[in-house]
A and B are shown apart, each in its own frame.
Chain A
Amino acid sequence: MSAAARCPPQPPIPELGPFKRSFWRSPLRGPWLASFLSAALLPLIVVCFLTGLLSHAAYNPALGRNQLFDPGVDFYFFEWPVRPSWLYALTQGLHVVSGLGAIPILLAKLWAVIPQLFERPAVRSVAHALERAGLALLVSGSLFVFATGILNIQLWYPFGFSFVPAHYYAAFVFIAALAFHIVTKITVARRAFSERGVVAPLRDELEHTMPEPPLEGLDTTAPVAAAPPTMSRRLLIGTVGAGSLGLALMGIGQSVGGPFRRLALLAPRGRSEGNGPNGFQVNRTLGSVGIPREKLVRDWLLTLSVGGDMRVELTRDQLLQMRQTTASLPIACVEGWSTTQRWTGVRISELARMAGAHGAEIEVRSLQESGTFKRATLSDRQVRDPRTMLALKVNGADLSLDHGFPARLIVPALPGVHNTKWVGELAFAGTAA
């Protein structure tokens, strides 16, 4: 980049205000700081991106009507497992925690490199123009995925577009632009770390904090007219790190639960919901789906059908008289919170046998009439698992209406919303034996 290159004609930008290099006076800005923040950010972004892809796979999008949108290219090459049962609680907890923890570092990084937005000449070469286009996509893409993610976990949807595909594809824009950015900047990071040391600049006290020197022959944000420092690099990085840790702890609190839930002071699912058997987090209340109470309490019947033919109808009492199974399994929400409870009910595999269905997928249908998650298709492996059940009770008591009374699905390691509540029908695929 430093070698002579054909320079395209420049738009006339006056050398004023932020366009003047001497406008940016912080002595802490420079290639080392930008590289150090990037090195801290990168692992969080990698974890966040990979767990995001895993979340896509966890919904078993290849089955039935599980797919929320056409992903163009399928990145799930495997069937989502049932073991360990806390798998989705872990991957999705990591997704939200790494995302929350990345926010302060991203903001600090953007602060560190903001002078580059105003660099002159605005375009030095074709390569430089492509780099800047990539940077625009990188900054927009990163702010977009973090902003939509933050709003979504707080159940606020002011965007006017569908969250899942927008968040999913914006992540690809972000990651692709990031990969290009890393290729173009890896020299800066390598030089900054070899000339300044990776952590050595953190050792300087305020009195010994010098403006960051430029890297010879490379274009960086090192200040040309630095003000005296008011903060050491250690304090700056410590502040960013503390912000990151604080947000991450809030995410960890609502993901791990138990006594740690108290850490999640400002997180949406950091609250106690009472001590009763049904005192745990509700993703969707009965009120928000609008199923009339009498359909659940008085008139409820479970329908078992195979290949579209109705085979069996069961009352809740009949279900309670069947062999019951009990298992401690988590509800793990895509929004990054989890809660593990002790569920009791009838094995789905037993209901399959009763209906005469053999080794097949099953679509579980709720009585709710609208909503993306009024149904979910389970894989053969999930149906066969002895812990997969139609739960009737939780912690020894009947399910509350908000938790899915009279019956809800519970499947190990399956995303929370696929653990369908207010189940009305189990539709087994295939033909009778």
Chain B
Amino acid sequence: MKRFRYEYGGGPVHLVAAAVGLGVAVWALFMVFGVLDRPQNFVRWFVGAIVLHDLLFLPIYLALGAAASGALLRGQRTRIRVAALNHLRLPALFSGLLLLVWFPLVLSKAAASYESRSGLSTDVYLGRWVALTAVLFGVSALLFALRARSLGDNR
């Protein structure tokens, strides 16, 4: 057993889970390659998903977050500066999340197929997203203004 752990780096349960989990995953990949006309497009999206998220989107929003906190805090972590940062980045996060999920409608990417299939136009969505974004930032700014006085008193 000791020998097994040394060679493998984990217990037998780990090996069984790896065999079953990776086995089923590889089976599913083989199945889908057999079914699809152009499996290379599947591969492009499947690999593209992790590459885009881990090496592009996530670094971009980390950098945006770092830039925002650098600009607002300027090395001074007073309660009011930290609060200002949060009152800015939370509505930005929500607005970004809504855009991330609904961008095909908001940016009219889906316009042609959406209009042909549903009989409706995608025109309303950009306005709705802008309005929701304005409400999010507006409410956040209002709450910040209400909190600012009590936060300013301390420190």
Residues on A close to B: CB < 8 A? 1, 3-6, 69-70, 72, 100, 103-104, 107, 110-111, 114, 117, 124-128, 130-131, 133-134, 136-137, 139-141, 143-144, 147-148, 150-151, 154-162, 165-166, 168-170, 172-173, 175-177, 179-181, 183-184, 206, 228, 230-231, 235, 239, 242-243, 246-247, 265-269, 271, 273, 281-285, 287-288, 402
Contacts and interface: CB of A to CB of B under 8 A. Distances in A.
The 4 closest A-B pairs by CB, nearest first: A125-B9, A180-B21, A127-B10, A156-B110
Where chain B touches its partner, the secondary structure class is helix
Contacts of A150: 101, 104
A230 B82 contact: yes
A172 B41 CA distance: 18
B142 interface: no
A4 B104 contact: no
B54 to A, nearest CB: 6
Select the residue from B5, B29, B35 with max chain A CB neighbours within 10 A.
B35
B85 A165 contact: no
Contacts of A154: 102, 104-105, 110, 114
B41 A161 contact: yes
A1 B118 contact: no
Contacts of B124: 271
Select the residue from B6, B18, B90, B113 with max chain A CB neighbours within 10 A.
B18
Contacts of A125: 8-10
Contacts of A265: 128, 132
A239 B90 contact: yes
B146 interface: no
Given A140-B47, A140-B49, A144-B49, A166 B25 contact: no
A432 B10 CA distance: 66
A125 B4 CA distance: 12
Contacts of B129: 266
A156 B93 contact: no
Interface string B23-43: 111011101100111110110
A189 B69 CA distance: 31
A161 B38 contact: yes
A137 B25 contact: yes
B17 A184 contact: yes
B4 to A, nearest CB: 10
B11 to A, nearest CB: 8
Contact of A266 (B8, B119, B132): B132
Where chain A touches its partner, the secondary structure class is helix
Given A134-B22, A180-B21, A160 B49 contact: no
A4 B28 contact: no
B109 A230 contact: no
B18 A156 contact: no
A117 B54 contact: yes
B144 interface: no
Contacts of B128: 265-266
Contacts of A169: 28-29, 31-32, 35
Contacts of A136: 50
Interface string B120-133: 10001100110010
Contacts of B7: 5-6, 126
Contacts of B5: 3, 5
Contacts of B23: 176
Contacts of A134: 18, 21-22, 25
A177 B15 contact: no
Given A137-B22, A161-B37, A176-B24, A143 B9 contact: no
A110 B53 contact: yes
Contacts of B110: 151, 154-156
Contacts of B119: 282, 285, 287, 402
Contacts of A157: 113
Contact of B36 (A151, A165, A269, A287): A165
Contact of B97 (A1, A104, A156): A104
B116 A285 contact: yes
B58 A180 contact: no
A271 B120 contact: yes
B14 to A, nearest CB: 5
B139 interface: no
Given A5-B7, A131-B18, A168-B32, 13 more contacts: A4-B6, A114-B54, A133-B22, A156-B113, A162-B36, A173-B25, A177-B22, A180-B21, A183-B14, A239-B94, A243-B93, A265-B132, A282-B119
B17 A183 contact: yes
A127 B14 contact: yes
B116 A156 contact: no
A158 B97 CA distance: 21
B73 interface: yes
Contacts of B71: none
9 contacts: A137-B22, A155-B117, A155-B118, A162-B36, A173-B28, A176-B28, A181-B21, A243-B93, A247-B97
